Structure 1
């Protein structure tokens, strides 16, 4: 009899969860407040082959105050700390300053500096098909770094998805789809500032440790994929063979992290590999991240490729095209 009661109770609970999720999915729009963490800075720092020249940057932004941080057709999120809405630009600058310091990059922010760091956009796409599907979050940032009159476009995207167990604001969901992507975005921006200003690297020993950590944790994708991103941020060619290997991995986030880093690390030498990944990728996210990595190459040929793809989508309105347009716009607009 007890087992029957437990079964009935379990069925009722399952039905309640399903009904709640269905209501969430069917409603026209929900906005949630979620507590987010400060991004954790890197633990490995870059090493210079010469003497880096300290650089001051004037920070500016085009981010509306009090904006919705993640926007979607059904679910919107406002990021908070201590139950107060964060100011996205202030949040970004604080996290970036901490990351630059952790990487031992001699960058300071000074409103009177002639060189500039312009934050053009900092947002997340939120998407969910129904109450039983994963919550997809695509975090994006677009920046112009202006140094001695030369403009460097810095852009990054991170795609994560997770199925909620109880609610769309539960802590594991926020950690996987908001906290981790924000941390990766900040680290990628710092890595690209390094590329533009200093060209410092992680040591060969650091790269070897990261590769070993990925392989030791390959069954724990949540740990391994973040280490793969670190390889892409290393600016050390020693990491490229590992990225090429991991770009074929069965685990989605290990694979995406590897593809993402290929353009930064391999440059025009991996252009053909990235085009092949874009044209033959079985999943949208593989093709999308390959586009992003092509944008990171920053050569005329790579940017012309993005323009050609953008032109093909001019009269299309599918979900994939809509998202691809946003990704390509990070580099072209």
Structure 2
């Protein structure tokens, strides 16, 4: 790299980091207000196991230093996940208890990675988790990927809620929704799903509506499918991403062709990435083969978006 390029890179990095704090106090996730029906009579014990490689135990990292604090204390990600998973299980009316023994769930990855191109572009985060539910027939992979972004106008405090608090809140909810899909098979009632659909249709606030769209995906109720498919065409970015994500969380195998279409034709990277995430969620042989082909096509990629796409695929294949 020549001197001019080096100076330019240094100037860009300095501009990105200007006024950015090195740590952020985050809020605790709020448990869901909609419970699942028909809880099991007997309680099941779940055991979260930290299976992260030593080199991947940094929780929050990226272009900017962004340590996450809970009441000014560094967040320990597995303890954070365990505490808020238990609260979400109870809120969802799932009869399960996190314990030191029981159904083993290996946490392979849990990170918040940030990126910012310059001082005039959004600060974005990718919240990612990969885990294996250990069963007698072998591990069952569950994963999640949530993208959020915000351009700070007056101060970096503006990015805490949309890029840290909301994604971590959704991560806990999606993690529990996927545990439910695999282990408990409970669902929201048809009425609760219809209430969500009506609320989304009548909302003029993208920030509230996109979180309700995620709830449709967490419902484990096929009644949500048509609404999610329709919302994959939304002009609002985060509503659209939540809908694409929801097809996978709902494990709607019939949506595979729509997800392939989004990956092939979407104009922006985040739509493609979310389609990959949902294809991975489906967990079928056809879906897995699609990810393997996509991964081969991304080999030796050197631009950041292709590298990010591979990172999403790796949540399911590594």
Q: TM-score, normalised by structure 2?
A: 0.91
In 1, Cα distance between equivalents of 2:21 and 2:310: 25
Could you tell me which residue of structure 1 aligns to residue 232 of structure 2?
247
| Correspondences of 1:167-246 after superposition (within 5 Å) | 167-168=155-156, 170=157, 172-217=158-203, 219-246=204-231
Alpha-carbon distance in structure 1 between the residues aligned to 2:112 and 2:70: 17
Query: Counterpart in 2 of 1:316?
Result: 301
- Corresponding residue to 2:140 among 152, 156, 159: 152
Q: Structure 1 length as normaliser, TM-score?
A: 0.87
Alpha-carbon distance between aligned partners in 2 of 1:184 and 1:26, rounded to the nearest angstrom: 27
Other-structure match for 1:135:
123
Structure 2 contact 48–98 (Cα < 8 Å) conserved = yes
**Matched residues in 2 for 1:233 and 1:173: separation?**
25
From the CA coordinates, give the structure whose radius of gyration is larger: 1
Distance 1:138 1:289, change over 3 A: same
Query: The residue matched to 2:134 in structure 1 has which SS?
Result: strand
User: What is the SS of the residue equivalent to 2:65?
Assistant: strand
In structure 2, the CA distance between the partners of 1:21 and 1:84, relative to structure 1 (3 Å rule), is farther
What is the CA distance between 1:53 and its match in structure 2?
4.5
Give the Cα–Cα distance (whole angstroms) in 2 for the partners of residues 143 and 151 of structure 1: 9
Distance 1:213 1:154 in 2: 29
Q: Retained in 1: the 8 A contact 2:56–2:109? A: no
| Aligned partners of 2:130 and 2:141 also within 8 Å | yes
Distance in 1 separating the partners of 2:142 and 2:23:
29
Count residues with an aligned counterpart. Answer: 306
1:46 aligns to 2:36 (yes or no):
yes
1:54–1:149 CA distance, 2 compared to 1 (3 A): farther
Rounded to whole Å, the distance in 1 between the matches of 2:35 and 2:129 is 23
Q: Does 1:116 align with 2:116?
A: no
Give how far 1:96 is off.
0.7
Conserved 8 A contact 1:67-1:78: no
Q: Check if 1:91 corresponds to 2:80.
A: yes
Residues 245 and 213 of structure 1, relative CA distance in 2, 3 Å threshold: same
Cα deviation for residue 110 of structure 1 reads: 2.2
Please report how far the alpha carbon of residue 263 of structure 1 lies from its aligned counterpart in structure 2 after TM superposition: 2.0
Q: 2:291 aligns with which of 306, 322, 333?
A: 306
Match of 1:80 in 2: 69
Equivalent pair of 2:17/2:64 in contact (CA under 8 Å): no
- Residue number in structure 1 paired with 2:3: none
Secondary structure, in 3 states, of the residue corresponding to 2:164? helix
Work out the CA distance in 2 between the residues paired with 1:188 and 1:108: 17
Q: Secondary structure at the match of 1:75?
A: coil
Once residues 51 and 109 of structure 1 are traced to their aligned partners in structure 2, the CA distance between those partners, rounded to angstroms, is 16
Does the 8 Å contact 2:225/2:252 carry over to 1?
no
